[in-house]
Copies of this chain bind each other. A is one copy, B any other.
């Protein structure tokens, strides 16, 4: 069926003229799945982790060119993954940064490159009463490069925890006229908190530390396995530490500012907290986006 030497294909439509001469901000592939070997000191006390990653890879495109060579994006990914076999990557954000640099080499016409990586990450944890558990988290990595040399990387986490509502608790206390010293019932629910730091190259942040910061900011962390006394203790702890979604975000911000005293002012911080409200069918949400510098000034 194939009537020509396929190696002689000269067609390269991508370099031709497109539908119209508009620049494109981002062109590439979304949702490429790939296992990656990550080595990280302290990453759950394990040296090498195989992370199942979902990867988006984009470059920009000048107005003069019809198409981007998308297969090069997957080639860059495969280069980096192949290299990780012998030399495990130090984090998905470092892998994203490495890919961004290579993308500018492979796409000689591109001025910027963007990579986003999402992975599931499992880590040991300990219940209030000391039992070992193994919990699931999300890792959020990324990088953005410009040909003039700017490279920004993102390192973040997605953590599921529990929030107990302070307003509900106070309202019920008043309604019942309760004057004792026990924490009173309130509505509580599953909360999803994301913390992402964006910083220049050369700055290293441990995902495990970010997870710890977030878990400390919930009313309580959550656990795969809770025998009865541990279940009771989680409930008591949460009701002694009630949190709005606003409190979760600010608690994370406070811990970030305290923990990362040495990071420069231009590190960009994005924190979101979303509660799957038990008393509503919709969710409650809070977010803060801003630089470390701004945050340092606000809460003196």
Contacts and interface: CB of A to CB of B under 8 A. Distances in A.
A100 interface: no
A299 B117 CA distance: 34
Contact of A281 (B6, B188, B224): B224
A223 B162 contact: no
A148 interface: no
A186 B185 contact: yes
A50 interface: yes
Contacts of A10: 174
Contacts of A231: 167-168, 171, 187, 279
A251 interface: yes
Given A183-B185, A236-B175, A190 B226 contact: no
Interface in A1-27: 1-4, 6-7, 9-11, 13-14, 18-27
A204 to B, nearest CB: 25
- Majority SS at the chain A contact face: mixed
Q: Which of A4, A24, A227, A251 has the most CB of B within 10 A?
A: A24
A45 interface: no
A84 interface: no
Contact of A19 (B3, B26, B33, B251): B251
A116 B295 CA distance: 27
Contacts of A147: none
Contact of A223 (B75, B182, B253, B279): B279
Interface stretch (A105-113, A193-201, A241-249): A241-249
A117 B6 CA distance: 44
A11 B276 contact: no
Contacts of A190: 189-190, 276-278, 281
Interface in A144-184: 160, 162, 166-168, 170-172, 174-178, 180, 182-184
B232 A162 contact: no
Given A66-B247, A250-B19, A34 B134 contact: yes
A188 B284 contact: no
Contact of A278 (B2, B25, B247, B278): B278
A9 B178 contact: no
A71 B274 CA distance: 16
25 contacts: A3-B177, A6-B175, A7-B229, A9-B228, A9-B229, A9-B232, A11-B170, A18-B244, A18-B247, A20-B250, A20-B253, A22-B250, A22-B253, A22-B288, A24-B286, A25-B288, A27-B287, A29-B285, A30-B283, A78-B134, A162-B278, A185-B235, A220-B279, A222-B279, A224-B280
Given A29-B280, A185-B185, 9 more contacts: A2-B175, A23-B290, A32-B282, A33-B136, A67-B246, A68-B286, A167-B228, A187-B235, A190-B190
